[in-house]
Amino acid sequence: MTVQTLDTGRDIEQFAAKAEQWLTTAVPARWKNERGSMTSHEMDELRREWDFILWEGGYSGLSIPKEYGGRGLGLAEEIIFHVLAGSAQAPDGLARVGKSLVTPMLIKSGSEHQRATYIPSIMNGNDVWCQGFSEPEAGSDMANIQTRARRVEGGYLLTGTKTWTSFAQHARRCFVLAQTQPEAGRYRNLSMLLVDMRAPGVSISDIRQISGAVHFAETRFDNVFVADDDRVGDDGDGWGVAMRVLGDERGGIETAARYVEIRSDVDALIAVLGDDPRYADRLRDLDIRTELVRWQLAKIADLETAGDEVRLARAGAVLKLMWSELWQDVTRLGVINAPMADHRHWTYQYLESRAVTIYGGSSEIQRNILSERVLGLPR
CA-wise closest residue to 273 among 345, 352, 333, 351: 333
Q: Would residue 249 show up in a list of annotated catalytic residues for this protein?
A: yes
| Rounded distance between C-alpha atoms, residue 323 and residue 329, angstroms | 10
How many helical (H) and strand (E) elements, i.e. helices and strands, does the chain have?
A: 14, 8
Nearest 5°: phi and psi at 59? -120, 25
| Other beta carbons within 10 Å of 30 | 12
| Rounded distance between C-alpha atoms, residue 1 and residue 12, angstroms | 12
Describe the chain by its helix, strand, coil percentages, rounded to 5: 55, 15, 30
| Rounded distance between C-alpha atoms, residue 301 and residue 66, angstroms | 20
C-alpha 248, offset from chain centre: 8
C-alpha 147, offset from chain centre: 23
Nearest 5°: phi and psi at 158? -95, 130
Of the residues 78, 135, 218, 249, only one is catalytic, namely 249
| Rounded distance between C-alpha atoms, residue 302 and residue 256, angstroms | 15
- DSSP three-state, residue 376: coil
* Torsional sign, CA 130, 135, 138, 144: negative
Catalytic residues: 249
